Chains A and B, each alone.
Chain A
Amino acid sequence: MPNAKGLEKIIIVDDEWESPIVTAVRRRLDEEGWHTLVIVPEAGGSIGDEFEASALYAIEEELPVGVLLDIRLGEYREDQFKGLEILQKIVEQHPKLPVLMFTQYAQGPDRERAVRGSLKWDAPVDFIDKLASPDEVVLRLRRLIGRTPEIIPIGGDLYLDANAKAVYVKRGEDSVIVDDIHGMKFEIIRELAATWYRSPGELVPFSRLERYSEGEEARASLRVRIREIKVSLGRALGVAFGAGDLIINVRDQGYRLVPPKT
């Protein structure tokens, strides 16, 4: 499968960059296709100030698509909220750069709350507990960065290529195109996969899918197309998808993609 993110970079600013918890997040971001760069300050001077200078320089030089920034950058009292100072500088200098703040508090102390309150509601800045799982960090970054990639994996053996407007199945080192998934059927699976990519549990309502169906009986037509997609993908994988697999109907409200487990 081609790299989903190309050379998109994520800068990680964390004084515990070698700790297992940050390493696990970094590894997961690398798996996701992002190229992670860790800020390691030069020795000497105040740790917090070194992080600030190095982080702002790296942002100018590397042009990342996002920054993962810890609030606490050292044990000195003045560095306990250094990340918030760096955030304010990033927001001033790069207002569109997505920043995900690592916080170590349940709801954030007064100073953190004040910074949150001072940000515009649509600022690309979000806060996440440092105990969050790497998957949670990835999902939050996906939404914060906002772009849906050209390549979206659907489980371990399938992937969707938006450029080629096709779904592929992996065969060893190679990939083979899945027949019969084109036109409106491709648009349906793309809509479902894009929503799953940003928010795995989110339902795609009928209103968004029915534009990819024809005739007066749009709902019935959509049902038929969904069944055909499941048959085509099932044939490619050598399985038969039932009503509760791959694309499921929830309470007659809409459909949700459930990528097959490998």
Chain B
Amino acid sequence: MLWWLRIFAGLVLVGGVVGLALAPFIGKSLFVELWGVEPLSYLGGLLVVAALGGTTLTYYLPRLLGRDKAEVDTDQQTAEKWGQLTQQYFELFNHDLGRPLRRILGKERELRLLLQSSESELYPEVKGLLDEIESQTPSFRLMMSNIQVMVQLEAPNLPIKIQPVEPTELIRRIVDRYSLLASEAHKEITWWSEPTEFGLIYCDGSAIEHIVTNLVDNTVRFATEHVEIKLTKNLTDFFVRVWDDGPGIPPHYAQHIFDRGWTPEVARSEEKTSSGLGLFIAHTLAKKYGGDLTLESISAPEPDHHTTFLLSLPLNGNATALESS
């Protein structure tokens, strides 16, 4: 619309300039003088002023009255396209990065089998090295998911996907992923739900799975022997309590635990062993979906030390999340 107005004003301007240019030559012969000047000069001048004024208004009026809707829509479409493009590049990157890792893992599993099937006993040192390679896989998978969720969180208009979700199956999947890793480190994960028949909830299942995976990843790393996951609900919310019997988090660390990029190594000026994004993302997602993520940790002498993360989310909380988004 604005562009059509500008083109029209441009044509008027050309007409005005032509009028002014011809006025000295044909103005007097065509029109009767008015106040000592032939009218073609008046007409040309008027057209030039109107065209310049109109053009100026097309630039400044929308800013004074608020932005033109079409332009706002265009900006939004551009942002969405940019978000999609970023996601596509990320997926490509994720796939290509995964290829060599799949090869490495495949070879490690073949090597393990060869060594196990040979006559001689598998050296504990060799088993330890193979376990170390295998144990990096959940970290890699979580790191890629975390980066992808970060990209989504930064994108405008993050879509909220409401779907019926069976939360017990969601916990089973996470426990499947970490059981082997925990077992190799002589730790164990136990989980249960109250009530036993938990039923369905309506939420964004992948977001919930992502939050709880980050919590379990954290607790498995810091647990001494046991990790427990308990799923409960009341009339309005459901809760996931992730507990570990690790050494606990001192209060001066606990206040930073959900900060972006923070890890205990940051506070000790040591080399970071994780990105420090997991708990930040978990906390951000919990808030975004109308819930909360809190920490309770006791850093005391044995046997009282422990850490508990409590995730609470509305059973039907997507309405809240949708309104706020």
The segment from B96-104, B264-272, B275-283 found at the interface with A is: B96-104
Check if B134 sits within 8 Å of A131, measured CB to CB: no
- Asked if B102 and A130 sit within 8 Å, CB to CB, the answer is yes
Q: Which residue of B lies closest to A112 (CB)?
A: B91
Contact of B190 among A133, A139, A256 (CB under 8 A): A256
Question: Is B196 touching A19 in the complex (CB atoms < 8 A)?
Answer: no
Given contacts A19-B106, A106-B94, contact A129 B163 (CB under 8 A): no
Taken residue by residue from 11 to 41, chain A's Cβ proximity to chain B (1 for < 8 Å, 0 otherwise) reads as 0000000011111100100000000000000
A19 to B107, CA, bound (A): 9
Some 26 contacts from A to B, beta carbons below 8 A apart, are A21-B102, A21-B105, A22-B106, A24-B109, A27-B113, A104-B95, A105-B95, A106-B148, A109-B91, A113-B161, A117-B163, A121-B164, A130-B102, A131-B102, A133-B137, A134-B109, A136-B176, A200-B179, A201-B188, A201-B189, A202-B172, A202-B190, A202-B191, A203-B192, A207-B196, A250-B190
Which residues of chain B have C-beta atoms less than 8 A from A88's C-beta?
none
Interface residues on A, range: 35 or more
In contact, B172 and A110 (Cβ under 8 angstroms): no
Complex CA gap A258/B186 in Å reads: 13
Q: Contact string, B125-162, partner A, CB cutoff 8 A, digits 1/0?
A: 00000000010010011001101110000000000010
With A106-B148, A251-B228 given, is the CB distance from A136 to B180 under 8 Å? yes
The dominant DSSP class at the B interface is helix
With A140-B173, A250-B190: A19-B137 Cβ-Cβ less than 8 Å = no
Does residue A124 face the partner (Cβ distance < 8 Å to B)? no
Query: A254 within 8 Å of B by Cβ?
Result: yes
User: Contacts A110-B87, A117-B161, A208-B196 given: A131-B190 contact, CB under 8 Å?
Assistant: no
Q: Once the chains bind, are B200 and A121 in contact (CB under 8 Å)?
A: yes
Q: Nearest Cβ in chain A — how far from B184, in angstroms?
A: 11
Question: Chain A nearest CB: distance from B160 CB in Å?
Answer: 13
B175: which A residues are within 8 A, CB to CB? 199-202
Q: How big is chain B's contact interface, by range?
A: 35 or more
* A194 CB, nearest partner CB in chain B, Å: 14
Q: Give the residues from 187 to 221 in chain B that come closer than 8 angstroms, CB to CB, to chain A.
A: 188-192, 194, 196, 200, 206, 210
With A21-B105, A117-B163, A139-B176 as contacts: A105 and B192 at CB distance below 8 Å: no
* Distance (whole angstroms) from the CB of B111 to the closest CB of chain A: 9
Q: Residues of B contacting A207 with CB < 8 Å?
A: 196
Q: Is the CB of B296 closer than 8 A to any CB of chain A?
A: no
Q: How far is the CB of A195 from chain B (nearest CB, A)?
A: 10
Q: Is the pair B98, A254 in contact by a Cβ cutoff of 8 Å?
A: no
Q: Report B-chain residues with C-beta under 8 Å of the C-beta of A143.
A: 169, 172
Give the complex CA separation of A207 and B179 in angstroms.
Answer: 25
B173 engages A109 (CB within 8 Å): no
Q: Which residues on the B side are within 8 Å of A23 (C-beta)?
A: 106, 110
Residue B88 lies at the interface, judged by CB distance under 8 Å to chain A: yes
Query: Which residues on the A side are within 8 Å of B200 (C-beta)?
Result: 121
A180 at the interface (CB under 8 A from B): no
Please, which residues of chain A bring their CB within 8 A of the CB of B192?
202-203, 205, 250, 253-254
Residues of A within 8 A of B172 (CB): 139, 143, 198-199, 202
Chain B, Cβ-Cβ closest to A119 = B163
- Complexed CA–CA distance, A208 and B149 (Å): 39
B84 within 8 A of A: yes
Q: Which residue of B lies closest to A20 (CB)?
A: B106
Contact A107 B98 (CB under 8 A): no
* A8: Cβ under 8 A from any B Cβ: no
User: For the complex, is A132 an interface residue (Cβ under 8 Å from B)?
Assistant: yes
The verdict on A135 contacting chain B, using a C-beta distance below 8 Å, is yes
Interface centre among B107, B144, B177 (most CB of A within 10 A): B177
* Interface membership of chain A positions 78-119, coded 1 if the CB is closer than 8 angstroms to chain B and 0 otherwise: 000000000000000000000000001111011001000100
Which residues of A (1-15) have their CB < 8 Å from a CB of B?
none
Check if A250 sits within 8 Å of B228, measured CB to CB.
yes
Q: Which residues of B contact A72 (CB under 8 A)?
A: 95
| A107 in contact with B196 given A20-B103, A134-B109, A140-B176 (CB within 8 Å) | no
- State how many angstroms separate the Cβ of A210 from the closest Cβ of chain B: 12
A203 touches which of B166, B177, B190 (Cβ 8 Å): B190
| CA of A165 to CA of B270, assembled, Å | 58
Provide the residues of chain B in CB contact with A134, threshold 8 Å. Answer: 109
1/0 per position for A176-220, CB-CB distance to B under 8 A?
000000000000000000000011111101011000000000000
Contact of A205 among B102, B109, B196, B210 (CB under 8 A): B196
Given the complex of chains A and B, what is the CA–CA distance between A135 and B107 in angstroms?
17
Taking the closest CB of chain B, its distance from the CB of A2, in whole angstroms, is 23
Candidates B101, B145, B163, B189; contact of A121 at CB < 8 Å: B163
* Contact A132/B177 with A110-B84, A253-B192 known, Cβ cut-off 8 Å: yes
Chain A nearest CB from B194 CB (Å) reads 8
A230 to B148, CA, bound (A): 47
Minimum distance in angstroms from B131 CB to a CB of chain A? 12
Interface centre among B173, B189, B228 (most CB of A within 10 A): B173
Question: In the assembly, what is the distance between CA of A136 and CA of B109, in Å?
Answer: 14
CA of A132 to CA of B91, assembled, Å? 18
